């Protein structure tokens, strides 16, 4: 009799485990779908990015309204041209990741295109540097590059990849 009661207890426990397992498994796909759904809604808002970058650069360089009115449109124009220069490189690189086993020729094509894109970007930087130095002081031009990199880390990056100097500033504010 005790043996029968023991098996009944085991059956009840297994039944509880089974029901719990079934409930968790039933909710799991919904949970994954909900997470994927949130990622679908995460998109890059280019307009917000550009507005925040302009404001950040203006503040970091302490641009006067007159300087900002001339410099920011040129700066945005340069960034757009650099983006376009690297577009083929990004597309080919993405193709390597998503395609079948890439060939050496495919890797070579991507490397060559990315090197050429880098050269085009540097040529654009040099061309626009000549325009920028008519607007801003050398000190502000120097600070611009650092501010640009810092903005990207702060806007796009997560806290682990942010500039450690920002943590010191945050600690001071507390």
- pLDDT, tens digit, 9 for 90 and up, residues 24-60: 445 555 444 444 444 444 677 888 888 999 999 999 9
Examine residue 107 and state whether it is found in any structural domain, yes or no: yes
For residue 153, give its domain range: 76-157
pLDDT for position 22: 42
Examine residue 16 and state whether it is found in any structural domain, yes or no: no
Count of positions (residues) in the chain: 174
Examine residue 139 and state whether it is found in any structural domain, yes or no: yes
Examine residue 122 and state whether it is found in any structural domain, yes or no: yes
pLDDT for position 6: 53
pLDDT for position 10: 53
Q: How far apart are CA 152 and CA 155, in angstroms?
A: 5
In 10 A of CB 63, how many CB atoms?
20
Examine residue 99 and state whether it is found in any structural domain, yes or no: yes
Query: Structural domain tally of the chain?
Result: 1
Q: What average pLDDT does range 84-89 have in this prediction? A: 93
Whether the model clears a pTM of 0.85, i.e. scores above it, the answer is no
């Amino acid at each position: 009799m005790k043996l029968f009661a023991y098996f009944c207890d085991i059956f009840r426990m297994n039944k509880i485990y089974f029901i719990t397992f079934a409930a968790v498994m039933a909710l799991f796909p919904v949970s994954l779908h909900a997470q994927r759904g949130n990622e679908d809604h995460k998109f890059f808002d280019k307009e917000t990015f550009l507005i925040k970058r302009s404001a950040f650069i203006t503040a970091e360089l302490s641009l006067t309204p007159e300087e900002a009115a001339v410099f920011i449109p040129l700066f945005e124009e340069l960034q757009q041209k650099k983006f376009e220069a690297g577009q083929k490189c990004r597309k080919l690189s993405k193709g390597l990741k998503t395609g079948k086993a890439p060939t050496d020729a495919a890797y070579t094509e991507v490397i060559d295109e990315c090197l050429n894109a880098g050269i085009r970007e540097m040529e654009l930087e040099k061309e626009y540097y000549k325009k920028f130095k008519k607007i801003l002081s050398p000190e502000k031009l120097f600070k611009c590059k650092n501010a640009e990199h810092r903005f990207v880390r702060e806007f796009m990056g997560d806290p682990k990849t942010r500039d450690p100097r920002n943590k010191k500033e945050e600690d001071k504010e507390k």
